[in-house]
């Protein structure tokens, strides 16, 4: 018998929320959507819109994973409602601007890639923590 399906829950670990960010952004792009605000991202993830400002860690994990795999940093499509630009900590590929990665991310066929596991995102998160020390 297959193990029971897991649901995303409030209070999930950062790397679990990173997987939800990946899924949300990939689906948005694949269904023809453009950029979205941090509040929109939070709302699409079933959170209060105000929680969007706190998703920088998850976006950092996803962006780092993208760069490690020579993909445009998908998090560049998430922008501030006031400025229509990503936040100051946005990750983009070396030698590229966030605008380059935003354009490339919106043109990438994200459904051609398997969804990274929470274990993979946990590993990226732990590497990021080690580098910050």
pLDDT in tens, 21-57: 999 999 999 999 999 999 999 999 999 999 998 999 9
pLDDT recorded at residue 89: 86
Global pTM reads 0.94
Beta bridge partners of 78: 36
- Token output for 108: 């990438």
Contact 13, 121 (CB under 8 A): no
Of 39, 45, 40, 43, whose CA–CA distance to 17 is shortest? 45
Structure tokens at 73: 């940093």
- Stretches in the chain below the pLDDT threshold 50: none
**Confidence at residue 62, expressed as pLDDT on a 0 to 100 scale:** 98
Q: What is the DSSP letter of 117?
A: P
Report how far residue 36's alpha carbon sits from residue 58's, in angstroms, rounded to the nearest whole number.
16
Could you identify the residue written with the tokens 């080690």?
Answer: 130
Integer Cα distance of 32 and 53 in angstroms: 24
């Amino acid at each position: 018998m297959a193990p029971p399906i897991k649901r995303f829950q409030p209070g999930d670990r950062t790397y679990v929320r990173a997987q939800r960010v990946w899924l949300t952004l990939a689906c948005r792009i694949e269904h023809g959507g453009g950029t979205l605000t941090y509040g929109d991202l939070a709302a699409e993830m079933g959170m209060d819109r105000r929680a969007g400002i706190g998703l920088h860690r998850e976006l950092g994990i996803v962006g780092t994973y993208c760069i490690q795999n020579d993909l445009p940093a998908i998090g560049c499509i998430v922008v501030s409602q006031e400025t229509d630009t990503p936040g100051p900590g946005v990750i983009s590929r070396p030698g590229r601007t966030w605008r380059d990665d935003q354009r490339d991310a919106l043109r990438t066929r994200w459904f051609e890639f398997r969804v990274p596991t929470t274990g993979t995102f946990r590993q990226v998160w732990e590497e990021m923590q080690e580098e910050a020390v």
